[in-house]
Amino acid sequence: MVIGTALIGLGLAIVLLDIYRSHPESPWLALLSLSPLPRLLRALILGAVGVGLLIFAVVSLNRTLLAPYLRPGKPIVDAVSRHRRLGRGPRIVTIGGGTGLSILLRGLKKYSGNLTAIVTVADDGGSSGRLRRSLGLPPPGDIRACIAALSDDEDLLTQLFRYRFLEGEELNGHSFGNLFIAALAGVTGSFDQGIMEAARILSIRGTVLPSTMRDIALLADKTPEMAVEAFRIEGESQISETPGRIRRVHLEPNDPPAYPGAIQAVLNADMIVIGPGSLYTSVIPNLLIPDLVKAIRTSQAFKVFVCNVATQLGETDGYDCKQHVDAIERHIGRGLVDVVVANDRFDYPLPEGISGVDPSATADMMVPLYTGDLVDSDRPWRHDSEKIAETLIALWEERTGPLDLSLDDDLGS
C-alpha cells in the first residue's frame, strides 16, 4: 500500500510540475506549493499532511469494516486486541448437550476463540422433537443453545435467537432459534450448513457441530423399584419421565457414523471437556458413537470429565461422583479421561428431590479427582460458568504454563 501510494504521488507530482512550469506566476500555485518557504520545510509539511490523511483514511476504513463487531463504547483497539488474544487460546473441544454445555461455553469463550462444541442430536421432545418429526431434521435445540452461548449475550439478535413463543396454536412452545436453523437448513440444502450460517450470522466465538448427522433414537433399559427385570424405553424425552433406575442406554442404530468435522476437531484439540449435562441423555449419547470415542482415545489432548453438581430426577437419583464415572465406564470402558472435576460446596438449598453430587466416595476410582467451588449461588443445581471455566483453564495452565492473555503485547505489536 505504501509503494502504491508513493507511485500515485510521483505520477501526480510529474503532472503538477508541468502545470507549475507552464504558469510560474500563478498565485494559487505558489500558495499550494508553499513556494515562499524553504524546500526542505515544504517537503516536511506536505509529507506530514499526506501521512495524516492516509492514517485517517485507514482508521475510518477499519472502523467501517469492524462496525458489525464493535459494542457501543468499545474502541477498535480493544476489539482487535480481544480477537487476537482469544485467537491465541487453546483449542478446546466440549462434548455434551443441554443446559450444562451452554453454561460451560459461556465461561470458556472469555479465554479462547478456538472452541468447538460437539452436541448430541438424540433429543425428541419439545420444539426440537416437533421439528424433527415434521421436517425430518436433526433436533436443533441443544445446538441452538450452544450457538447462543458462544455469541455476545448483550446482542439483541442473540436474545431473539433464544426467544420462545408462548401463544399461538402452531407456534406455542417453539423457539425462534430452532425455527431459524430449520429455515436456514432449507435454504442451504443441509442441516450442517444451516448451523454454520446461523453461527456466522451471530458471529460466535467458536464452532458448533452435531456429533452425527444420522437420524438416531435414544433407548434406555430401566429397572423399576423392587424389581429385577428391566424394561426398555424409547425416546430421550421419555427416559427421565418414566420411574425406575437406568441400567444402560443405547442408540438406534447402534453404530452411527460420527460427523467428520467433529472427528477432526477432536484429533486437533489441545483440551477435550466431556460434560456437564444430563448424564444419560446428553453426555453418554455422544460417547455411544464408536468413531467419536475412538478419536477421543487417539487424541493427544488433555481430557477432562466435568461431573454434574446435582442429581437429576429420573436419571441420576442418589448418584455420587463415582457413580457418574462408573456409568460412563460401564458404557465405553475405562481410560477415557485424565481427570474428573467435581463440585465440593453444598451449603445452598436445592429443590425437593434433588441432592448434591458428593465427590468424597472415590474408592476404586482409577481417575484423579479435582474438586472446588463450582456451584452457581443463584441456581445451585447448576455450574457457575465463570467458576468452571477458571478451574478448567487453571488445570490446563498447570500442564502447559500460563496463557498469554495480556493486552500490552497486542498494543505493542
Tell me: do 136 and 219 sit in the same domain.
yes
Cα 296 to the center of its chain, rounded Å = 19
Mean pLDDT of 140-148: 89
Mark whether 76 and 129 lie in a shared domain.
no
Boundary-marking domain end, from 43, 58, 81: 81
pLDDT > 90 fraction of the chain, expressed in percent and rounded: 44
Whether 204 and 76 map to the same domain: the answer is no
pLDDT over 50 at 412, yes or no: no
Show contacts of 398-405: CB within 8 Å, 24+ apart.
Answer: 399/302, 400/90, 400/270, 403/88, 403/89, 403/90, 403/111, 404/85, 404/88, 405/85, 405/88, 405/89, 405/111
- Segment 178-206 mean pLDDT: 89
Q: DSSP per residue over 327-368, as a string?
A: HHHHHH-S-S-SEEEEE----S---TT--B------TT--S-
Q: Is residue 274 part of a domain?
A: yes
pLDDT digits (tens, 9 = 90+) for 304-338: 999 999 999 989 999 999 999 999 999 999 999 99
Q: What pLDDT score was predicted for residue 271?
A: 96
Joined together, the cell numbers standing for residue 72 give 457501543
143 in any annotated domain: yes
413 in a structural domain:
no
Mean pLDDT of the chain: 86
Banded model confidence at residue 374, pLDDT cuts 50, 70, 90: very high
Q: Which of 1-10, 33-42, 65-74, 114-123 has the lowest mean pLDDT?
A: 65-74
155/16 same-domain check: no
Say how far apart CA 411 and CA 413 lie, in whole Å.
Answer: 6
The answer as to whether 409 is a domain residue is: no
Please tell me the least confidently modeled range out of 144-153, 310-319, 382-391.
144-153
Is 410 among the domain residues? no
Structural domains of the chain, count? 2
- Does any domain span residue 124? yes
pLDDT for position 411 = 38
| 70 in the same domain as 206 | no
Q: Are residues 159 and 255 in the same domain?
A: yes
**β partners of residue 383:** 375
Report the percent of the chain where pLDDT is more than 70.
Answer: 90
Pairwise CA distance, residues 240 & 259, whole Å: 27
Residue 317 sits in which domain range?
Answer: 87-404
User: Is residue 26, in this structure, part of any structural domain at all?
Assistant: yes
Distance CA(171)–CA(89), nearest Å, equals 40
- Does 63 share its domain with 122? no
Q: Which residues of 21-35 are buried (b: 16+ CB within 10 A; e: fewer)?
A: eeeeeeeebeeeeee
Cell of 8: 500515485
Q: Do residues 195 and 148 make contact, with C-beta atoms less than 8 angstroms apart?
A: no
**Domain contains 335:** yes
Per residue, the 3-state secondary structure of 21-54, as one string, reads: HHCCCCHHHHHHHCCCCCHHHHHHHHHHHHHHHH
Domain identity same for 361 and 382: yes
Q: Are residues 120 and 37 in the same domain?
A: no
**209 and 123 fall within a common domain:** yes
pLDDT tier for residue 341 given thresholds of 50, 70 and 90: very high
The domain that contains 203 carries what CATH number? 3.40.50.10680
Q: Looking at 53, 81, 109, which one is the last position of a domain?
A: 81
Specify the pTM. 0.79
Last residue of a domain, one of 51, 81, 111: 81
Closest CA to 196 of 261, 276, 289, 107: 261
262 and 379, same domain (yes or no):
yes
77 and 141 in a single domain? The answer is no
Predicted local confidence at residue 70, as pLDDT: 58
Q: Which long-range contacts (CB under 8 A, 24 or more apart) does 45-53 make?
A: 50/9
